Amino acid sequence: MITDTEKRIREEFPLINSTTLAYLDNSATVQKPKCVLDAVSRYYENDNANPMRGLYDLSLRATEDYEKARSAAARFIGAAPEEIIFTRNASESLNLVAYSYGMNFIKEGDEIIVSVAEHHSNFLPWQQVAKVTGAKVIWYDCEEDGRFDLDTLLGLLSDKTKLLAITQVSNVLGRVNDVKTMAKMVHEKGGVIVVDGSQSVPHMAVNIKDLDADFFAFSGHKMYAPMGIGVLYGKKALLDKMPPFLYGGEMIESVTKERTTFAEVPHKFEAGTVNAGGAAGLLAAIEFIEKYGFDFITKREDMLTKRAFDRMKEMPFIKILGGEKAEDHHGIIAFQVEGVHPHDVSQIFADSDIAVRAGHHCAQPLHKHLGIMSSTRMSVAFYNTEEEIDRFIEVLSGIRSRMGY
């Protein structure tokens, strides 16, 4: 039985509302509410022109829609609109920082500290920067329970430290990292902190000024917006001194055959025709989240997490990655089933009409650090139901017997 509240939420999501699938792969991407889909259609049906180009009303409306989305994204994380750059996704945001900031302001002998829990998208760009500049990547390991010890960080920091790359919430462990304190520690050494907010922004209130992060990246598609729109926040002073990442249309001030001057931030970083439809969707997604509010969303997701976690803890053949308490997991539980490979686990779930993820979740260094190859991950969004969690638990408890144990 689903509750009235659950019914009301689920009716907002056409896909969720029309399937029996228990969708528990929300860390990968979430389903989209009707209001977001409508906002994208509305943009293309009423306001579509190339933003920032035309002097006619339609193009002005397209520009206005696009800039309204930027303002909303800024408000959502407590930033100023000129500090918000639209990208395709968090990966592109992080690449922008690596190529524009990293390649130009990091030098041979400098050190880049990368947390071992990073999604590959907040590690590979830094590996490239190190390779090209001659800087060194230093690993910031987590404890066995997934906690990042601040004393460990203190031991890694030095005058050579130029940058710390860390996620606010790991896509495997689900734990919230104390990036605010880490930012302070890195700043004391004169370095910058690059925070991956992909798994935090959709599920908890984030205030970027409070965190004092220098760069902060997240994807729209994990927060109810369409795929193909993402955000990079950067401190204005840093963005101003960084060269463009991509060159092309509408990112210039003037171009001659000899030289070009570039537009102001954020437009300097948005070459080519932008994803205005996606931005309209992102605006609607932000308003959708604000309608429910994080008090409600986070509480529901924590409740669902705890419902699954506490039952999983009772199963002797389940090993959960990361913290020992449900409160450490924030909607994400990655686990191993003794004797059953994660791909077989997720196959059985799939055939039981439940979607979970199996593999390394783009976090191979973390899995290696924890001494395993891969894991299965369930992750919730606030539209999931208690009944779905119970179905998940029922299938999980029978997996070993279905595999012949």
Partner 1 sequence: MSTNTFYNEIINEHNLNPYHKHSIEGANFSLEGVNPSCGDDIILNLKVEDGVITDGAYEGDGCAISQASADIMLDLIIGKTKEEALHLADIFMRMIKEKISDEEKEELEEAGILESVSHMPARVKCAVLGWRTMSEMFGR
- Which residues are catalytically annotated? 362
104: contact with partner 1 by CB under 8 A? no
Q: How far is the CB of 78 from partner 1 (least distance, A)?
A: 38
CA distance 274 to 277: 9
Q: How far is the CB of 271 from partner 1 (least distance, A)?
A: 32
Binds partner 1 by CB under 8 A, chosen from 19, 109, 347, 394: 347
CA distance 261 to 291: 42
404: contact with partner 1 by CB under 8 A? yes
Q: How far is the CB of 372 from partner 1 (least distance, A)?
A: 9
Q: How far is the CB of 199 from partner 1 (least distance, A)?
A: 22
CA distance 222 to 381: 10
CB 196 within 8 A of CB 98: no
CB 334 within 8 A of CB 359: no
Q: How far is the CB of 27 from partner 1 (least distance, A)?
A: 18
Report the residue count for the chain.
405
Q: How far is the CB of 28 from partner 1 (least distance, A)?
A: 14
Burial code (b: 16+ CB inside 10 Å, e: under 16) for 220-251 equals: bbbbbbbbbbbbbbbbeebbeebebbbeeeeb
DSSP string, 336-393: EETTB-HHHHHHHHHHTTEE-EEE-TT-HHHHHHTT-S-EEEEE--TT--HHHHHHHH
Cite the beta strand spans of 116-223 per DSSP E. 136-140, 161-167, 192-196, 215-219
CB 97 within 8 A of CB 228: no
Residues 6+ apart with CB under 8 A from 256: none
321: contact with partner 1 by CB under 8 A? no
Amino acid at 137: V
Q: Which of 353, 389, 387, 382 is nearest to 33 (CA)?
A: 382
CB 16 within 8 A of CB 23: yes
Stretch that binds partner 1, among 96-104, 163-171, 346-354, 379-387 (CB under 8 A): 346-354
In the complex with partner 1, which residue's Cβ is closer, 305 or 374?
374
Stretch that binds partner 1, among 57-65, 266-274, 287-295, 341-349 (CB under 8 A): 341-349
Q: How far is the CB of 142 from partner 1 (least distance, A)?
A: 21
Element (H, E) at 318: strand 318-320
CB 146 within 8 A of CB 321: yes
Binds partner 1 by CB under 8 A, chosen from 81, 359, 386, 390: 359
351: contact with partner 1 by CB under 8 A? yes
Stretch that binds partner 1, among 3-11, 145-153, 177-185, 352-360 (CB under 8 A): 352-360
C-alpha dihedral sign at 295, 301, 302, 307: positive
DSSP 8-state code for residue 44:
I
Stretch that binds partner 1, among 102-110, 126-134, 214-222, 339-347 (CB under 8 A): 339-347
Compute how many residues bind partner 1; rule: CB under 8 A.
19
338: contact with partner 1 by CB under 8 A? no
Could you give the string, one character per residue 362-381, with x where binding to partner 1 holds by CB under 8 A and - elsewhere? -----------xx-------
In the complex with partner 1, which residue's Cβ is closer, 81 or 359?
359
CB 379 within 8 A of CB 23: no
Stretch that binds partner 1, among 137-145, 182-190, 248-256, 355-363 (CB under 8 A): 355-363
316: contact with partner 1 by CB under 8 A? no
341: contact with partner 1 by CB under 8 A? yes
In the complex with partner 1, which residue's Cβ is closer, 156 or 362?
362
In the complex with partner 1, which residue's Cβ is closer, 80 or 403?
403
Binds partner 1 by CB under 8 A, chosen from 138, 352, 365, 397: 352
403: contact with partner 1 by CB under 8 A? yes
Residues lying near partner 1 in the complex (CB under 8 A) are found at 340-344, 347-348, 350-352, 358-360, 373-374, 402-405
